[in-house]
Structure 1
Amino acid sequence: MTAPQAAHAENGLIQYVTDESYDDVIFGLENAILDQGLLIDGTSHVGDMLERTRADVGSDVVLFTRADVYSFCSAKLSRKVMEADPMNIRFCPYDIFVAQMPDDPDHVTIGYRAFPEGPMQEVQALVDTIVRSAISLD
């Protein structure tokens, strides 16, 4: 197994690519979230939904082999950033995606949307720590 590629940031997206299996990345992500003392609020099975509805919307394009989005929040950190600006509510819950593309079955991408400068950078640091831990970069 090769080391995951360093973070690639573009268009407000932070992503890492690894050759770990999809199941290993998901297992690592779930544990990394729990290791921070946080609960997973929900899992959106985006890849399954897009595949299930592909024909219904008239498409023949398979976007993902697998793709899920994990949502979670930190009461302590969310309170802190919302006390700084109540409109930071728009960032809660925090999401991390995991995706595998059909044209690159040997790699899995894990990432998240970048957060704005200021108090939300503390949230970004937490999310990045979780992602890096999920793929054994920390």
Structure 2
Amino acid sequence: MKQFVFAAILGVCAQTSTAQDMVTYTTDQDFDDVAFGIESAITDAGLVVDHVSHVGAMLERTRADVGSDMVLFEKADVYSFCSATISRQVMEADPMNIVFCPYDIFLAQQPGSDQVVVGYRQFPEGAMQTVQKLLDDIVQEAIGE
């Protein structure tokens, strides 16, 4: 029964996330410089990048296979990572905060744009604001804000 409730909670959370549920910053910096800044800021915080999803490359590689002619991104990546200390803190406050782990920061550049958008999802009030502050600090460090 617990697994069913947990799966239902995960499904609701995944379905309710929308574009307005994110924090974004826009910069004129080169995409690769911003990517290096994100990775550096994560490691400077004593954290390890668990995975980099090359979303833009995947979408471009599969574009024709799914019958689309729309190029969505020049480049787009998502950096996934976690913090044992902060994750323990927020999950001790509420074990169901597991739904937010790992933490993700995305960066994307649309075709023909010299702007790079960097961002992350907003988190609920309470304990998860510690994670939101961490992500905001990382993004701001990466783009020099």
Q: Identity percentage over the alignment?
A: 65
Instruction: Give TM-score scaled by structure 1 length.
Output: 0.90
Q: Which runs of 5+ in 2 are unaligned?
A: 1-18
Q: Which amino acid aligns with 2:119?
A: G
Q: Which runs of 5+ in 1 are unaligned?
A: 1-9
RMSD: 0.8
Counterpart of 1:115 in structure 2 is 123
Q: Which amino acid aligns with 1:19?
A: D
Shift of 1:103: 3.6
The answer to whether 1:72 aligns with 2:91 is: no
Counterpart of 1:134 in structure 2 is 142
Counterpart of 2:53 in structure 1 is 44
Q: Pairwise mapping of residues 1-138 of structure 1 onto structure 2 (< 5 A)? A: 11-104=20-113, 106-137=114-145
Q: Secondary structure at the match of 2:39?
A: helix
Shift of 1:20: 0.3
Q: Give aligned pairs, total.
A: 127
Instruction: Give TM-score scaled by structure 2 length.
Output: 0.86
Query: Which has the larger Rg?
Result: 2
Q: Please state which structure has a larger fraction of its residues in helix.
A: 2
Separation (CA, whole Å) in 1 of partners of 2:62 and 2:36: 27
Shift of 1:132: 0.4
Separation (CA, whole Å) in 2 of partners of 1:71 and 1:22: 17
Shift of 1:11: 1.1
> Runs ≥4 in structure 1, deviation > 4 angstroms?
none
Q: Give deviations 1:45-80, integer Å, cap 9, x for gaps.
A: 000000000000000000000000000000000000
Separation (CA, whole Å) in 2 of partners of 1:40 and 1:85: 24
Q: Secondary structure at the match of 1:87?
A: helix
Shift of 1:29: 0.5
Separation (CA, whole Å) in 1 of partners of 2:38 and 2:20: 23
Separation (CA, whole Å) in 2 of partners of 1:86 and 1:103: 43
